[in-house]
Amino acid sequence: MSSPTPTTPKSSRSSLIAIIVALAIGALVALAGSQGGAALGGIPLFALAVAAAYAIQILAFIPAMILRTERFFDLTGSLTFLTISVALVLLTPMPDARSWILAAMVILWAARLGSFLAMRVHKAGSDGRFDEIKGSPVRFLQVWVIQGAWVSITAAAAWIAISTDAGARVPIGWLTVVGIIVWALGLVIEIVADAQKSAFRADPAHKDEFIRTGLWSRSRHPNYFGEIVLWVGVFLTAAPVLAGWQWVAILSPLFVILLLTRVSGIPLLEARAEKKWGDRADYIEYRESTPSLIPRLTRPAVRQTAA
């Protein structure tokens, strides 16, 4: 076991503030999204779902901190989506077709993501993102609590609509059908993009190279595009039953877009790519001719000088 990572009082205070903010955001989302929702024992089901999302992360943090490991961090997030969605649709009084459809959307996505991340962790081992914080309980707890906020906000549209009061439900209409189609399109794009990148990396001939084939020839981050489209589809499916403060559910797709395009998705990967291949002419050409997110309908002309 390695020695604890030195932690300054300032960094611990910042982490503590981040934890409080993440918990406050979850509480506000739970309060707003619970308006007009079904309850269990007098407590709104959506609020219980949000509380459970945070509780699962905090419980998982305890053994992770003791063992100083992040190996089941991503998997815990995926399982939280899955287990709470299952529980919510089962606990909601007389769930309708929309509730089952939304639960299935989140469950299928979470099962796919969880299995993908589990295989990636098995192959890659430790995650360098956590090296500097695993030795600090407060800083390590911060990422788990923030993951609770991520799960709660991302799943908000589906969970609010699933747990809405029976009197507010409406029949399946054209917007729901559009939402299902959009969700399916996003899921397919994400699955195909991830599979193409995994196959590319598995080929020894591509060691230290960047992918620019398949969907990656039309977008530098097609998997993130699929993820965004997927959650837009979930929101469209949920939208017909939203009313009043329940429209806080719009945060679901907006949060995914913000997270992937401005925070931890594209900016981090672009910085890594620039550091690794930024001085190569073929990468510069690929970067300048290929959209960052929204795929081109036609493949850009890029020289294939490096396999």
Place of tokens 């459809």: 101
DSSP letter for each residue of 199-262: HHHHSGGGTT----SGGGGT-S-HHHHHHHHHHHHHHHHHGGG--GGGGGGGHHHHHHHHIIII
Q: Does residue 6 fall inside a structural domain?
A: no
Residue 53 lies in a domain: yes
Collect all residues with Cβ–Cβ distance below 8 Å to 302 and sequence separation of at least 6.
212, 217, 282, 285, 286, 289, 290
Does a structural domain hold residue 244? yes
170 found inside a domain: yes
Measured between alpha carbons, how far is 223 from 244 in angstroms, rounded to an integer?
Answer: 33
- Looking at the DSSP bridge assignments, the partners of residue 164 are 37
Residues whose CB falls within 8 Å of the CB of residue 122, separated by 6 or more in sequence, listed in order: none
The count of structural domains within the chain is 1
Q: Is residue 246 part of a domain?
A: yes
- Show the low-confidence residues of the chain (pLDDT under 70): 1-10, 121-129, 131, 299-307
Domain hosting 150: range is 14-289
Per residue in 177-215, pLDDT (tens digit) is 999 999 999 999 999 999 999 999 989 998 889 999 999
Half-sphere exposure of 179 (CA within 13 A, CB side): 22
Instruction: Establish if 5 belongs to a structural domain.
Output: no
Q: What is the pLDDT, as a whole number, of residue 10? A: 59
User: What pLDDT was estimated at residue 8?
Assistant: 46
Tell me the per-residue pLDDT of 262-299, one tens digit each, with 9 for 90 and over.
988 899 999 999 999 999 999 999 999 999 999 998 76
Q: Count the helix, strand and coil residues of the chain and give each as a percent rounded to the nearest 5.
A: 75, 0, 25
Show the tokens assigned to 126: 């430790």
Q: How far apart are CA 142 and CA 133, in angstroms?
A: 9
Is 182 among the domain residues?
yes
The pLDDT value recorded for residue 124 is 63
Q: For residues 19 and 143, what is the distance between their CA atoms, to the nearest angstrom?
A: 8
pLDDT on residue 88: 97
Q: Is residue 9 part of a domain?
A: no
**43-44 and 39-40: which strand pairing?**
antiparallel
Contacts of residue 203, defined as CB under 8 A and 6 or more positions apart, other chains included, come to none
Is residue 155 within 8 A of residue 85, CB to CB? The reply is yes
